[in-house]
């Protein structure tokens, strides 16, 4: 499991929740794997209470199953839950990118272009000069669009729910390779630059739905990750 430093003023519960979510999304904690409160507490330098609270929070959205006296298990990927998380992102992000086309400023364009430059370097070199994963850069691109549209709080609010979709996104990135994702982001940026809300929304819908066409391949390449 990958452990990152605790952020300033971050509560123990929020720290445990952030680290657990990142490791679940990036498959460091694979579907079906068991996690121990004691081991997590020791790894994170926390008492058991904030770790337990974080696990309970994840159980509420169907990512973790808690078995009293036996520990917790990371749930397999359930495409019914993925579809609901996808629906939420599709409805919100297609509208957000359309709004961004109208609200875009030079500062916003500069932020999107800088992010895409990092994505291109990552795709070319496998990491480049950044410590971020490609998915971190992908998330930052989408978050920037929410910020440009004036909806930053909505992006933060949906993060717990879309963790189901984020696991599929992570596998899709592995299957498609980052360069494919970069090309899709470049097309969305071009539509935003042209203030073409209809095109940007259509491109976003296509971008978010790519996983649907490769579900069979994902199941074959990553057996054991999915709920039947």
**pLDDT single digits (tens) 91-112:** 999 999 999 999 999 999 999 9
pLDDT digits (tens, 9 = 90+) for 107-154: 999 999 999 999 999 988 876 544 568 999 999 999 999 999 999 999
Task: List, by residue range, all CATH 1.20.120.530 domains of the chain.
Answer: 79-221
CB 107 within 8 A of CB 113: no
pTM higher than 0.85: yes
Q: Does domain 79-221 have CATH number 1.10.10.60?
A: no
65 sits in which H/E element: strand 64-67
Topology, domain 12-74: Arc Repressor Mutant, subunit A (1.10.10)
Task: List, by residue range, all CATH 1.10.10.10 domains of the chain.
Answer: 12-74
> In sequence order, what are the residues at sequence separation of 6 or more whose Cβ sits closer than 8 angstroms to the Cβ of residue 202?
none
Residue 47 falls in which region: left (phi positive, over 0), alpha (psi -120 to 50) or beta: beta
Quote the Cα angle for 107-109-115, to 5°. Answer: 105
For residue 134, which of 221, 17, 125, 165 has the smallest C-alpha distance?
Answer: 125
């Amino acid at each position: 499991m990958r452990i990152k430093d605790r952020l300033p003023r971050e509560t123990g519960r929020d720290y445990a929740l952030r680290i657990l979510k990142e490791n679940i999304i990036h498959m460091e904690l694979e579907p079906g794997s068991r996690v121990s409160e004691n081991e997590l507490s020791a790894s994170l330098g926390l008492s058991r209470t904030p770790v337990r609270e974080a696990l309970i929070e994840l159980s509420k959205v169907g990512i973790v199953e808690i078995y009293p006296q036996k520990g917790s298990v990371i749930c397999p990927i359930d495409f019914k839950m993925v579809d609901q998380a996808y629906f939420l992102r599709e409805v919100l992000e297609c509208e957000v990118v359309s709004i961004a086309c109208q609200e875009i400023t030079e500062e916003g364009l500069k932020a999107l272009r800088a992010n895409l430059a990092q994505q291109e370097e990552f795709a070319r070199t496998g990491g480049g000069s950044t410590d971020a994963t490609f998915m971190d850069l992908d998330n930052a691109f989408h978050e920037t669009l929410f910020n440009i549209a004036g909806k930053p709080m909505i992006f933060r609010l949906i993060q717990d729910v879309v963790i189901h979709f984020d696991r599929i996104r992570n596998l899709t990135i592995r299957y498609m390779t980052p360069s494919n994702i970069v090309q899709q982001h470049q097309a969305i940026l071009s539509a935003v630059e042209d203030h073409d809300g209809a095109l940007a929304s259509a491109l976003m819908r296509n971008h978010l739905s790519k996983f649907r066409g490769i579900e069979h391949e994902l199941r074959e390449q990553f057996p054991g990750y999915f709920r039947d």
